[in-house]
Homo-oligomer: A and B are copies of this chain.
Amino acid sequence: MRFEFCNPTRLVFGCGVLGRLGEETARIGRRALVVIGGGSVRRNGTLDRALRSLAGASVEADVFEGIEPNPRLPTVVRGGRAAVGSGADVVVAVGGGSVMDAAKVIAALPFYEGDPWDMIRHGRERPRVPERALPVITVPTLAATGSEMNDGAVLTNPDTTEKSYVIAPCLFPRLALVDPELTLTVPPDHTAYGVADLVTHVTESYFNGADGTPLQDRMAEAVVHVALEYGPRAVRDGSDIEAREQVQWASVVALNGWIQAGTAAPFPVHQIEHVVSAHTDLAHGAGLAILSPAWMRVACKATPEKYAQFATRVFGIPARGPDDLDAARSGIDRLEAFFRSLGCPTRLSEAGIGADPLERYARDTLRVGGDGRTLAGRPPMGLEDLLEVLRLAA
């Protein structure tokens, strides 16, 4: 293990902490650009509460509305102009992963010269990451992406139908105000997708990381155990605040870097999913629920011992030996069955995606998420492997 880790985001977690938005924002700035999505936070009252809290602390606020799921570059560029135009000195994201990701880039754009797409990591080109951003406060309304406490953002470029990501230290939110009560109104399907998303964040590093990370392995398993226990409760009864709370905390930990530290893991399933949802606008978590098991079924032949370990420790499946491929596959089956039990699709066809575009998806994955020929992961995959994954997912 040889790695660096730093996550300076301050986290304030707990039911009701939305009420502290004003006082906390006032410690950082005087004029906020409040970034929201399609309006659900207007309808359920969360935006009103946020704005009242800001007003109560004498923070002026402008609202930038209309971040779409799979947020698009032109929308974010408009947001960057809004930030400049309003004279905002702090950006407040109230929404799900798309809103938080968009807000991070919006906060960076006032200081970024040239084409904003240059900051996105796509293909072989070396991205020109932002070096400065307005301070960001994240107020997640969904338990899923972990964006509230990390320095990543994913955007879609509609001109090129590419979806990819930027990671830069200046994008760490200054503050994550995580209030599980805000997720009580999330419907069962998106609750389920959030659980699939957070589980995939830890399985990506678990199965693709370097050897010799036993503590990270066990912490990843801890996250999955919590998702297995509380995810179904949150889907079944959206008002189960204890389940909402545990799922939300697990989603924060799943991608704030604690689990990934030292693993040096690429996220190949995410790369494939980004391509599929760039073309189809599939919900990210739904795409992961479909693609993760398919990818694992191909990848497990390369590292059966890791999959057998997962099967044994997470699902209690006995293994005949350390590299028991049958146990490995049973664990993948159980994970897929879990996603299905939550109501996630586990085949592309269930999401209305046919087999025709699979080769295009595979090629785009290699181009946008890989080096043109290979997608990093364990094992690295070429075109034929990716086609096998996509056919298993079809």
How many interface residues does A have (CB within 8 Å)? 38
| Minimum C-beta distance from A43 to chain B (A) | 27
A9 at the interface (CB under 8 A from B): yes
A132 at the interface (CB under 8 A from B): no
Partner of A215, one of B9, B215, B223: B223
Q: Which residues of B contact A10 (CB under 8 A)?
A: 4-6
Q: Are A14 and B3 in contact (CB under 8 A)?
A: yes
Q: Are B246 and A226 in contact (CB under 8 A)?
A: no
Please report the C-alpha to C-alpha distance between residue A71 and residue B219 in the assembled complex, in whole angstroms: 34
Q: Which residues of B contact A245 (CB under 8 A)?
A: 1, 212
Q: Which B residue's beta carbon lies closest to that of A254?
A: B215
A287 at the interface (CB under 8 A from B): no
Q: Which B residue's beta carbon lies closest to that of A225?
A: B218
A84 at the interface (CB under 8 A from B): no
Q: Are B13 and A246 in contact (CB under 8 A)?
A: no
- Chain A residues 211 to 240 lying within 8 A of chain B, measured CB to CB, are 212, 214-215, 218-219, 221-223, 225-226, 229-230
A392 at the interface (CB under 8 A from B): no
Q: Which residues of B contact A1 (CB under 8 A)?
A: 13-14, 245, 249
Q: Are B215 and A253 in contact (CB under 8 A)?
A: yes
- Chain A residues 1 to 22 lying within 8 A of chain B, measured CB to CB, are 1-17
Chain A interface (Cβ < 8 Å from any Cβ of B): 1-17, 212, 214-215, 218-219, 221-223, 225-226, 229-230, 242, 245-246, 249-250, 253, 258, 261-262
A sample of 13 inter-chain contacts (CB < 8 A) reads A1-B13, A1-B14, A2-B13, A3-B14, A4-B10, A5-B10, A5-B13, A6-B11, A212-B246, A214-B230, A215-B226, A215-B246, A219-B222
